[in-house]
Amino acid sequence: MELEETVLEMGGVATRAALLAVSDRATVDRALLEGKVIAQARGRYALPSADVARVVAHRLTGVLGLSTAALLHGWAVKAPDAQPHVIVPRHRKIRAGQAVGAQVHYLDLLPEEIVGGATTREVTLTHCLRLLPFDEALVVADSAARDGELAMLRRVAAAARGPGSRKVRRIAALARPGAANAFESVLRAIALTVDGLAVEPQVLIRSVDPWARPDLVDERLRVVLEADSFAWHGDRGALRRDARRYDLLVADGWVVLRFAWEDVMFDPDFVRSVLRRVVARLAEGSAATAGAA
């Protein structure tokens, strides 16, 4: 797998440590040299779309916002935008054809809500939770929580007013610092739409030896969801370790479901249908057991 594909699966941003965990130093340095990834700050990398976005915003005399600004702040997104989000004042007149290549939002911003050509971290978080689709918003919220911004999430939730405020509060409450990456966050967003399923990220299961920490776990139903990526199975050793872990969990009575990145990102209906069928089957089994008793 190319390194930029790995960064994409991580949400468009990655630390050097995360990349070295799945690649090697020479590959990471070569990707930097070739411009396949760019350095945002010391030890933090992003896809080059971040620089392209600045050019588009400059052309519109606008400010980068929403998920485009989230990337610039070092937060993961579901997928880097092919057309960056650009915020312009409500009264701004955009000529026909001028906005090609951008998603334009007409919002009035205060000077203190702008930094470095983008909305500030707190304004960005507010806009993402309010305006983005649920799964995309959860990715950003999880990334902000992982980045230590739990107090900011609480402030954003407390300050939310008007249309979309309920959604802001819900997503802020769902943000988890333990969520590993964007892939996992999108899978959790899908799982949250399935009645009867309540998964949490990175729950430690001690009933198997060695202990396991799957991506998502419903402890009541004993269901494990794994966001399975080729990036994490780069060698035979990693594949064997994961296969043994899955086998031990199944032998211990857990239902283990493994979902590919392509299905989670592009075919959520398939993922949701599988989850619903599993939950329904487990419910039928519980009812039958209770009836026999």
167 and 186 inside one domain: no
Tokens of 116: 């470095």
Out of 174, 200, 220, a domain closes at: 174
Which CATH number does the domain housing residue 200 bear?
3.40.960.10
Question: Same domain for 40 and 52?
Answer: no
Mean pLDDT for 196-205 is 97
pLDDT of residue 231: 60
pLDDT in tens, 32-57: 888 888 887 788 888 887 778 888 88
- Whether 102 and 1 map to the same domain: the answer is no
pLDDT computed for residue 206 by the predictor: 96
Domain identity same for 69 and 156: yes
Given a cut of 80, is residue 288 above it in pLDDT?
A: no
d(CA 48, CA 12): 9
Handedness of CA 196, 201, 204, 205 (dihedral sign): positive
What tokens does 260 get?
């590919």
The HSE-up count of residue 256 (CA atoms within 13 Å, CB side) is 20
Using the predicted structure, report yes or no on whether residue 1 has a pLDDT greater than 70. no
Whether residue 207 sits in one domain with residue 167: no
Q: Among 174, 203, 236, where does a domain finish?
A: 174
Q: Are residues 53 and 111 in the same domain?
A: yes
Total domains in the fold of the chain: 3
Task: Answer yes or no: do 192 and 275 share one domain.
Answer: yes
- Please report the pLDDT score of residue 10 as a whole number: 81
Same domain, 218 and 153: no
Is the whole model's pTM more than 0.95, yes or no? no
Q: Do residues 73 and 132 share a domain?
A: yes
The verdict on 211 and 270 lying in the same domain is yes
Decide: helix, strand or coil at residue 181: coil
Is there a single domain that holds both residue 81 and residue 166?
A: yes
For the chain, the C-alpha Rg in angstroms (whole number) is 21
Q: What does the pLDDT average to over 196-200?
A: 98
Q: Which strands sit side by side in the sheet containing 44-46, from one edge to the other?
A: 13-15, 44-46, 38-41
Are 234 and 253 found together in one domain? yes
- What is the pLDDT, as a whole number, of residue 230? 63
Last residue of a domain, one of 158, 174, 190: 174
Range of the domain at 119: 48-174
